């Protein structure tokens, strides 16, 4: 499927910092609950992700990540996911997070 540049501009992808992460035992597949701070204007948002293969909750805190911030909230079990944290699959299909290669200001928009 081909999209236009105008379509791409509708997706609001921002840089945030994981401030809190906890195991999510209620999830159907192993997952971690996340709290991500996007700085002034957006603030802290919640999410969950199937990251348990490569990450621990303790190891995620402080990491900068990219996330889509303009999807409507989605209920995932007892968690309301407010953003979609982005990742790509490794050779076994397990999620590897996407983030900036160096420290950048929170809330920065991907363009």
| Domains observed in the chain | 11-97 (2.40.50.140)
List, for residues 58-82, the tens digit of each pLDDT value: 999 999 999 999 999 999 888 899 9
Of the pLDDT bands very low, low, confident and very high (cuts 50, 70, 90), residue 19 is very high
User: What pTM value is reported for the model?
Assistant: 0.93
CA distances from 43 to 24, 69, 107 (A): 22, 11, 9
Query: Which among 108, 29, 97 has a CA at the least distance from the CA of 63?
Result: 97
Report the 10 Å Cβ neighbour count for 16.
Answer: 28
Rounded-to-integer distance, Cα 8 and Cα 31, Å: 28
Rounded-to-integer distance, Cα 48 and Cα 79, Å: 8
């Amino acid at each position: 499927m081909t999209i236009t540049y105008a379509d791409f501009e509708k997706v609001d992808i921002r840089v945030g910092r994981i401030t809190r992460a906890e195991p999510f035992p209620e999830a159907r597949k192993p997952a971690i609950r996340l709290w991500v701070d996007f700085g002034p204007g957006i603030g802290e948002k919640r999410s969950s992700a199937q990251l348990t293969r490569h990450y621990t909750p303790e190891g995620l805190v402080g990491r900068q990540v990219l996330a889509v911030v303009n999807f409507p909230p989605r209920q995932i079990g007892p968690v309301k996911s407010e953003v979609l944290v982005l990742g790509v699959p490794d050779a076994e299909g397990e999620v590897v997070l996407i983030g900036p290669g160096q420290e950048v200001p929170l809330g920065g928009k991907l363009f």
